[in-house]
Amino acid sequence: MSETANLSGDFTGKVAVVTGASRGIGYQVAKALGARGAHVFALAKTVGGLEDLDDEIRAAGGSATLVPVDITDYDALDRLGAAIYERFGKLDMLVGNAGILGTLSPIGHIKPKDFEKVLATNVTANYRLIRSLDPLLRQSEAGRAVFMTSSQASDRVPFWGLQATSKAALNALVVTYAHELDKAALRVNLYDPGPVHTGLRAKAMPGEKGQGITQPHEVVDDVLRLLGPGLSETGLCYRRESGRFETV
């Protein structure tokens, strides 16, 4: 990343939305943003995890708004945009972290309802977030958006068809959105954290104990740099394993 992007430790007065914030990467990113002065709108289905997050943010002197919601409740995402506008008039940061694994299966064996659920969560929900929040991000002096992707989008490993399809579609959506913002201050990128010891990873690799695997808190610095006001890159994917931006 650019050197200036590394100077992004203070988010005082900023407003952020983080999805999938009740655990894993989303939890850690939301906690870090709150501790660094941002007001965090934390979205997740799990109320208990959100309450734990709120306790940690408040203990660090920060503030949060808890939004218990299924990310596929698209009307709720529209209401979120309206609520942020009424309260703050802008949005500085969007972290599209929520996602699901779906079934690891031959493509011909995937049930239609499973296919539709994964696309709804991993792709359509992020489109609806962009649709709702883009006007607010454009009101920020240095709007930033980051969406979580994975190597399956390009590796296309057998039996990972749902992840490959949904993440490839997400990549196309996000990069196209970034290219539409050439004259705006808003910067939009993808982030591939690689293997991380999360609930999603545990579902995919149930025999894996987590030893030697990146922990969620270890990727926070990368995400904060992608949200920093000094970032110049846009329309790219930052891969943790390579430590650099790549085209997708």
Stretch 21-29: mean pLDDT: 97
Cα–Cα distance measured from residue 4 to residue 187, given in angstroms and rounded to the nearest whole number? 14
Whether residue 243 lies inside any domain: the answer is no
At residue 147, the pLDDT reads 98
Q: What is the pLDDT of residues 30-69, one digit of tens each?
A: 999 999 999 999 999 999 999 999 999 999 999 999 999 9
- Cα 33–Cα 34–Cα 39 angle in degrees, nearest 5: 100
At residue 201, the pLDDT reads 47
Whether residue 245 lies inside any domain: the answer is no
Structural domain that includes position 72: 3-238
At residue 2, the pLDDT reads 46
Whether residue 247 lies inside any domain: the answer is no
Q: Is 217 exposed, middle or buried (0-12, 13-18, 19+ CB in 10 A)?
A: middle
Q: What is the mean pLDDT of the chain?
A: 92
Count of domains forming the chain: 1
pLDDT of residue 199 exceeding 80, the answer is no
Whether residue 246 lies inside any domain: the answer is no
pLDDT of residue 224 exceeding 50, the answer is yes
pLDDT of residue 6 exceeding 60, the answer is no
Stretch 154-165: mean pLDDT: 93
Q: What is the pLDDT of residues 208-221, one digit of tens each?
A: 555 567 899 999 99
Whether residue 244 lies inside any domain: the answer is no
Instruction: With cut-offs at 50, 70 and 90, classify the pLDDT of residue 156.
Output: confident
Whether residue 121 lies inside any domain: the answer is yes
Can you give the CATH number for the domain in which 174 is found? 3.40.50.720
Instruction: With cut-offs at 50, 70 and 90, classify the pLDDT of residue 197.
Output: low
Whether residue 202 lies inside any domain: the answer is yes
Please tell me the pTM assigned to this model: 0.91
Burial 46-57 (b: 16+ CB within 10 A, else e): eeebbeebbebb
At residue 177, the pLDDT reads 98
Q: Are strands 63-68 and 244-246 parallel, antiparallel or unpaired?
A: unpaired
At residue 236, the pLDDT reads 98
Residue type, 101: L
Whether residue 162 lies inside any domain: the answer is yes
